[in-house]
Amino acid sequence: MRSLLLVLAVALFVTTACARAQTPTDGAPPQTVPEGATELTVEAVEEIANRFYSGIQDQRRVVIRNPEDWRAFWTEFTVLQQPPQDAPIIDFDRQMVIVATMGRQTTGGHLVTIPAVYEHEGKLFVEVVEVSPGAGCMTTQALTAPATAIKVEAKDDPVTFVERSEQQSCQ
């Protein structure tokens, strides 16, 4: 009986941990892009930074709408880079920055991307994909902290991050 309870407790813990890992960082249930949403054009979305070795050690989903927050983010993002790199210029009267970070990973082979941004009924939906190495993948044995940032037209619309996790196949 004790071993059955232990097995059930472990199964519950693993199930909860896996569900938590796929839940957006704000604690809300996983979202999807609504049917009928319009994808922003390639010209309207520009990747401005993508690093495997960022200075950001936790998972984040951030919308930056002012230069002060941008400078603070960029300082943390590039803290490991020598010599320091100047932040891309953002016109916050016309643009905003959307950031996705994966947090510290114990090996290479991890990646975070923002493949698309959608509009629907006065809201933005930002698709975020986290890719991890699968079984059989060769990886660097180094700490990494994948992060990406894009710029889009400035909007006051609420932003929902639509999360997806993938595992790279190396078989």
Structure tokens at 163: 């999360």
Residue 4 CB-density burial (10 A; 0-12 exposed, 13-18 middle, 19+ buried):
exposed
108 Rama class: left (phi>0) / alpha (psi -120 to 50) / beta: beta
This prediction has a pTM of 0.80
The answer on pLDDT for 92 being more than 90 is yes
Q: What is the pLDDT of residues 119-151, one digit of tens each?
A: 999 999 999 999 999 988 999 999 999 999 999
Cα distances (angstroms) measured from residue 128 to each of 19, 68, 91, 140, 150: 17, 24, 24, 23, 11
- DSSP strands (E only) in 36-171: 38-39, 46-51, 59-64, 95-102, 111-120, 123-133, 147-153, 159-168
Contacts of 119 (CB under 8 A, 6+ apart): 37, 38, 40, 125, 157
What value does the mean pLDDT of the chain take?
85
The answer on pLDDT for 83 being more than 60 is yes
Beta bridge partners of 111: 131
